[in-house]
Structure 1
Amino acid sequence: MDMQSWLNGAVGGRYGNIIDGVAEEANGNASAIHNPARRDQCLGHFAESSNDDVDRAVTAAHRAWKTWREVPGPERGALLFRAADLLEQRVEELAFILSAEQGKVLAESRGEVMRAAKELRFSAGEASRIDGTTLPSEKRNGFAMTMRAPVGVVAAIAPWNFPIVTPVRKIGPALAYGCTVVLKPANLTPWSAVRLMDVFRDAGIPKSVVNLVLGSGRGAGEALVRHPLVRGVSFTGSTRTGADINAQLARRFVRAQLELGGKNPAVVLSYRDVGPVAKQIASAAFACTGQRCTAISRVVVLDSLADEVTEALTAELAAIRVGPAWDPAATMGPLITEQHRVSVLRNLAAGLDEGARLRFGGGVLDQGALASGHFMEPTLLDRVQPNTKLAREEVFGPVLSVIAVPDADRAFEVANAVEYGLAASIFTRDVDQAFRFMRDSQSGMVHVNHGTASEAHLPFGGVKGSGYGAYSIGHSNQDFFTELKAAYVQA
């Protein structure tokens, strides 16, 4: 199936909220969504939810929670296993939609859908692994134990860079543990969420267990955070917005699960062959056009290795082919919007003003077939100083900085010297250095001799300005989606 032919027959629809199992009509102020690789292509019009819409969705989810929580865990898990199967069966259509509204190349979109299926299967298994403990009682003929209870309605607020896997990462464990959900996708990528709702419906998830409200963060998002029946908010997005959400929730003693920004380092201390190191770093830096929280954006390398590593990275960037998702040769797509491209270019210009040297790329691609999209060259800079804006602040685009340091001690210091702490990589043949970095790195996820790719069964999260609350994906989700209860029994 050809993506462009499929899109020609699929674009232009109008989509509203899905509340209490009913797909509603888009309201009069529905917003148009355009293809970032072809901005003249309107993908559809999507509702802008009101406070009343949000209230109806949360009320429906709360009503459904009273019965969903009583469904045995293995039965809930069976429905999620079925949803994972449907994701795989519909991978091509979902990848077309994902690439059309987000811009990433088809190979990445297919990979995202398949990763979502993996994570959903792990969550399905979690429905049978809700654990507690049994302890000796202080009293004769007594029993003491702990158990878990679902928190209730969860607001799942998702970002635009991973519009399939991130909602699944929130909805899957919520349903496994007995919670119900109101999903608010990013207003730039709502089409994927609409199709994802079809997956859960067709898998047999009862109506109202998952509800969808469309619209902006300032509108629907804020209304969700404020709603008194919402007992948990799982949010992925910027650190600033996450901090604001957490402050609001703390006043009402509502729990938060926050996945926020990153400024992730790759520390390079030694290697047998520089080629695989550069390949790992480039893959982690430029996947999703650098628009992901776990992207490597800093290479902290010993002075003695800096030139060789920089040359190897330059060769990797030269091999990247920028283009639209439907181009089979493309390996990197456009930025999400023109506004975001301007922001990335502004950060790049600031880095050059601070003394960095441009080694590759840095330009806008606006000729020929790329003229109608938000394309930019993959970019590499060296001579970046650790205390500059480019070295410390999140760019969220295809820009990679090389920072040279004299020794391992300084490398570890520079790696930690930012407000973020999401993911970090080290490349070394010295096992002592590797374990020291694993221990001392101020990050939630540490990678040794490979990029910042996570796996579908391990906890995912960060520290410092990169996250707050229970980590997602793994069994750590239990700490967010359930409440701990102690029980005392006298025989």
Structure 2
Amino acid sequence: MFINGKWLSGKKEMEVKNPANGDIVGTVPRVEKEDVNEAIDSAHEAFNTWSGLSSKERASYMYKVAELMRGRKEELARTATLEMGKSLKDMNGEVQMAIDYIQWFAEEAQRVYGETVPSKANKVVNVIKQPVGVVGAITPWNFPVAMIARKIAPAIAVGCTVVLKPSSNSPLSAKLIFEMFEEAGMPSGVVNLVSGSAGEISDTLLNSSKVKKISFTGSTEVGKELMAESAKTVKKLSLELGGHAPYIVFEDADLDLAVDQLVAGKFRCAGQTCVSMNRVYVQESVKDEFVQKLEEKVKDVKMGDGLDPETFVGPLVNESGVKKVEEQVTDAVQKGAKVVVGGQRPQSETFQKGSFYEPTVLTEVDETMLISYEETFGPVAPIFSFKTEEEVISKANSTPFGLASYFYTNDLSRGHRVAQQLDFGIVGLNDSLPITASVPFGGIKESGFGKEGGHQGIDEYVVEKLFSTQIKQ
């Protein structure tokens, strides 16, 4: 726990395990309700002073944090890999993304512009933006570093204070980041860290009238619960929830590009990302060629401990994640799907202590199978076929989720046409990795609302106030 500028121990502790081998890699305190309330009180007391600083003063602390993160990049990446399994190469990229978010929002702090609205001759009407107040931020395990930066950075840049709850699967990297906040001299109470029971912490944040906003990344089911509970105190919300991304390959696409980018996007983090390609639609005329190229690529993908520099696919975060993937693959095969590559837990003794599942490609997949409508958080690429543009757009949109989508074509008119018709907050044309700090990230439909990143991301942490002045004539 890091509360009011101090590190505190708790009555109970939680063990953190390495999913590659089951080894205990650390422990963290399990907070009690009174600890969470203390963190909220600390953030509430610090708010007026912090929000009263100039944007340049707040940004100066953030630049120091970014510099410290650069200096401890390898340590931070290694720690996160140990606790959640992502490959070290992938994790290094995530740490750089976190640095980018902190720097981006430090710069955006000076650009929180209001408006002057034309009015009557004897009035000056302004709309001003002010920080919303204390923010409760709840982050997931699959991006344990970048998600913390993506939530805390815009909040503190605009003048909010924060109580952060990281995932119980990946709290050690959060601890390192807060050490950097401390070393940067961040004033007491501006950022506070609590770890423990998700339900107990979130309930406390939701029921506190001092917490004005909740920012959450996680499942749609939990997001809906947070929406219902937040109604009691009418909090502002940002929800980045589940996804079921379509990946569409038209017959005129560059197949080599489409295959390479599918492997890069689908199998990073062992498929455990909300923007992962869950439904791969390939036009009938090129399906066989596409599957052959994909099979060759996936066979060369190295699975192993994330600390091995040659590893591309690490373990899933825990055993329940593996069981869900097994259930989806078993269901698909029983209903007629064919396994092209993978399709099981690895048999080698090397992998027996970890939560691994082989990189998998399935063909002959249809809409009756679980994998076609349940979010897949694992290294499985199911291949569907389609005949026409109209058909695949209908299939792609036939989901309650609306986070990310991707399609491949060299036809410019089709590119614009399909992009406008896909019902998703993110659309990548010949691009499976469209996310940077400077662009808005967020979904529609049951994938949530609110944006993270870009200049839009900072507006999630402000309230707009009408300020009208009558001028004496």
- Per the TM superposition, whether the score is higher than 0.5 is yes
- How far is the alpha carbon of 1:361 from its aligned partner? 0.3
Matched, 1:74 2:82: no
User: 2:242 and 2:439 mapped to 1: Cα distance?
Assistant: 19
Equivalent residue for 1:32?
15
Code of the residue aligned with 1:346 in structure 2: it is: E
Q: 1:322 is matched with which residue: 300, 303, 308?
A: 303
For 2:76, what is the secondary structure of its paired residue?
Answer: helix
How does 1:221-260 map onto structure 2 within 5 Å?
Answer: 221-260=202-241
* Structure 1 partner of 2:385: 404
Deviates more, 1:345-354 or 1:375-384: 345-354
356-365 or 146-155, which moves further after superposition?
356-365
- 5 Å-filtered alignment, 1:182-261, equals 182-261=163-242
Question: What is the SS of the residue equivalent to 1:364?
Answer: coil
Question: Which amino acid is the alignment partner of residue 24 of structure 1?
Answer: L
1:133 corresponding residue in structure 2? 115
* Equivalent residues of 2:251, 2:285 under 8 A apart: no
Match status 1:58 vs 2:40: yes
Q: Distance in 2 between matches of 1:272 and 1:163?
A: 35
Equivalent residues in 2 for 1:450-469, closer than 5 Å: 450-468=431-449
Aligned to 1:112: 94
- Taking a change above 3 Å as real, the CA distance of residues 444 and 360 of structure 1, as seen in their structure-2 partners, is same
Give the aligned residue type for 1:69.
Answer: S
Please report how far the alpha carbon of residue 393 of structure 1 lies from its aligned counterpart in structure 2 after TM superposition.
1.0
CA distance in 1, matches of 2:142, 2:434: 15
Deviation at 1:366, TM superposition (A): 4.6
Contact 1:156 1:183 in 2 (8 A): yes
Q: How far, CA to CA, are the matches of 1:370 and 1:392 in structure 2?
A: 29
> Equivalents in 1 of 2:253, 2:279: separation in Å?
21
Contact 2:44 2:134 in 1 (8 A): yes
Shift >4 Å, 4+ stretches: none
CA contact (8 A) 1:300 1:414 kept: no
Pair 1:300 & 2:281 matched: yes
Q: CA RMSD in A?
A: 1.2
Mapped to 2, the partners of 1:452 and 1:350 lie a distance apart of: 30
Aligned to 2:355: 374
- Structure 2 residue identity aligned to 1:206: P
Q: Which amino acid aligns with 2:201?
A: A
In structure 2, the residue matched to 1:480 is 460
Residue 386 of structure 1: how far off its partner (Å): 2.9
Partner of 1:386: 367
- TM-score normalised by the chain length of structure 1: 0.94
Report the alpha carbon displacement of residue 45 of structure 1 after superposing the two structures with TM: 1.6
Q: Counterpart of 2:145 in structure 1: which amino acid?
A: I
The answer to whether 1:415 aligns with 2:396 is yes
Contact 2:303 2:314 in 1 (8 A): yes
Distance 2:459 2:64 in 1: 25
CA distance in structure 2 between the aligned counterparts of 1:353 and 1:453, rounded to whole angstroms: 35
Letter in 2 for 1:35: N
Structure 2 counterpart of 1:33, one-letter code: V
CA contact (8 A) 1:180 1:209 kept: yes
Q: Which moved more, 1:159-168 or 1:197-206?
A: 197-206
Q: Note if contact 1:73-1:176 (Cα within 8 Å) is conserved in structure 2.
A: yes
CA-CA distance at 1:481 after TM superposition: 0.4
Q: CA 1:372/1:242 → structure 2, altered by over 3 Å: closer, same or farther? A: same
* Residue aligning to 1:21: 5
Correspondence for 1:123 among 105, 108, 125:
105
Contact 2:303–2:313 (CA under 8 A) maintained in structure 1? yes
Deviation per residue, 1:346-369 (Å, 9 max, x gap): 121112222221111011125233
Structure 1 regions of 5+ residues with no counterpart? 1-16
Q: Structure 2: how far apart are the matches of 1:349 and 1:85?
A: 48
- Of 428, 451, 466, 1:471 maps to 451
SS of 1:377 mapped into structure 2: coil
How far is 1:476 from its partner? 1.4
Q: 1:444 to 1:192 in 2, by over 3 A?
A: same
Residue aligned with 1:143, SS: strand
1:66-85 CA distance string (max 9 Å, x none): 11010101111121122112
Q: Which moved more, 1:357-366 or 1:395-404?
A: 357-366
Distance (Å, rounded) in 1 between the aligned partners of 2:177 and 2:30: 19
Distance in 2 between the 1:19 and 1:276 partners? 48
Helix, strand or coil for the counterpart of 2:340?
Answer: strand
d(CA) in 1 for partners of 2:344 and 2:438? 39
Cα pair 1:186 1:216 within 8 Å, conserved: no
Contact 1:366-1:373 at 8 Å conserved across structures: no
Structure 1 match to 2:376:
395
Where does structure 2 lack aligned partners over 5 or more consecutive residues?
none
- Contact 2:254 2:409 (C-alpha < 8 Å) held by counterparts: no
Between the aligned partners of 1:483 and 1:272, the Cα distance in structure 2 is: 45
Q: Secondary structure at the match of 2:30?
A: coil
TM-score scaled by structure 2? 0.97
SS of the equivalent of 2:332 reads: helix
